[in-house]
Amino acid sequence: MGRMTLQFPSPGYWSRMNIYLAEMLPLHKHLLVSVLLYLGVYTFVGRVNGVQFSLPTVFFFLGIGSLLAVSLLIRLMDEIKDKELDEQLFSQRPLPSGRVFDSDIRFSIAAVAVLYLAANFWTGPTFGVALIVLAYAFVMFKHFFMPHILQKNLLLTLATHNPIVPIVYLHLLALFTAEHGLTFQTIDWRYTLPLILMYWAMSFAWEIARKIRSPQEENQYVTYSRIFGPRGAVLVAAGAQTVSFAIGLYFYWRLSLSPLFAVTLAGAYAITIWGHIRFMLLPSPATSKLKNFAELFIILVLIAQSIEHGLLS
C-alpha cells in the first residue's frame, strides 16, 4: 500500500477529480442521502426529546458536510487499499486506467481529513467524536494493521469495518446535543438506540447487496454471493432490512405515527423484497442489481421519517 505522504497535485487535479467523483461517488446521490440521513436523525431525536424542528442552522450544514466528508474519505481510502485488485479486475476505473493519479487520491484524503476536523473544531464536544470517526477510518485504511488477514477474509473485513456506521451516527447525535444544549446522558435512549440500529441495519443490507452477483458475473472478486451462495447472501441482506422494517413498525405503534409513515415504510419494504425474490427466482445480470433496491429502501424510509417527524409533528 505504501506510506501515506502528502504531495501537492499536478495541474489538472480538479478536472481529474471531477471525472473520479462522477464515476465513483456521484455527489448528487450522496448529497441527497446525507441530507435525508441528517434530517432523519435530527427530526426523530428532536421529537422524542421534546425539541421542535427549526429552520436549518450552521449545525445542519456541518452535519451534512461531515457525512459527505466521511463517505468521500472512505471511498478514497478504498482506492489505495484496493489498487492492485482494481488493476486486475476493474482496469476501466479512473485510478487504474490512469485518468486519476495516485497523488490525486492521497492529496484528497489528507485535504478532506483536515477540512473535516477543522469544521468540527469550533463545536466543542463534537470535535472529540469527530476525532474518533477519523481515527477509526484511518485504522480501517491500514486494514487494522493486519492486511494479509483481512484482504483474504471478506467477513472479517465486514465485522471490523462496518462499526464505523454507528460511530458516524453518534457524531450526528453529538451535533444535535451541542446545538440544543443537551448531553448524551439526557437523550432518551429508549428510542434513540433502536433508531441507530434501524439505520445501521439498512446500511449493513446495502453493504451486502452491493456485493451480490449472479453466477454468470462471478470472477476473482470476492462477493457475499460467493461466500453464502446467491440465495444465502440475499437472505442476509433481506434479514437486515426486515430488522429495519420491524423497528419502523415499532416506532409507528409506540409513537402513534401517521398512516402515511406506515404506508411508505411498508411500500419500501415490499419493493425491496420483490427485488430479492426476483433475483432468487431468476438470478442473472439483469436481476442482480440489488444495491439499487437497498438504496431505494434507505431513501424512502428516510423521506418518510423526515416528513413524519419534521413536518407532521
SS (H, E, C) 103-158: HHHHHHHHHHHHHHHHHHHCCCHHHHHHHHHHHHHHHHHCHHHCHHHHCCCHHHHH
Can you give the pLDDT at residue 309?
Answer: 78
Most confident range, picked from 9-13, 154-158, 280-284 = 280-284
Using 50, 70 and 90 to split pLDDT, how confident is the model at 2? very low
Quickly list H helices, the chain.
13-24, 27-48, 58-81, 83-89, 102-121, 125-141, 147-150, 154-161, 164-180, 189-209, 224-228, 230-254, 259-281, 290-306
Quickly count: other Cβ atoms within 10 Å of residue 244's Cβ: 25
| For residue 73, pLDDT beyond 60 | yes
- Provide the grid cell at 155: 467477513
- Provide the grid cell at 288: 442482480
Can you give the pLDDT at residue 3?
Answer: 53
> Which amino acid does the sequence have at 214?
S
Can you give the pLDDT at residue 150?
Answer: 80
Q: Do the beta carbons of residue 165 and residue 200 sit within 8 Å?
A: yes
Predicted TM-score (pTM) of the model is 0.90
Domain ranges in the chain? 1-184, 188-313
What are the tens digits of pLDDT across the range 246-293? Answer: 999 999 999 999 999 999 999 999 999 999 999 999 999 999 999 999
Using 50, 70 and 90 to split pLDDT, how confident is the model at 311? low
Can you give the pLDDT at residue 5?
Answer: 56
Compute the average pLDDT of residues 294-311: 89
Same fold, 1-184 and 188-313: no
Percentage of residues in the chain with pLDDT exceeding 90?
Answer: 70
Alpha carbon distance 99, 24 (integer Å): 13
- Write the class of the CATH domain 188-313: mainly alpha
Compute the average pLDDT of residues 84-110: 91
Rg over alpha carbons for the chain, rounded to the nearest Å, is 20
Alpha carbon distance 234, 227 (integer Å): 12
Pick the CATH number of 1-184 from 1.10.10.10, 3.20.20.10, 1.10.357.140, 2.30.42.10: 1.10.357.140
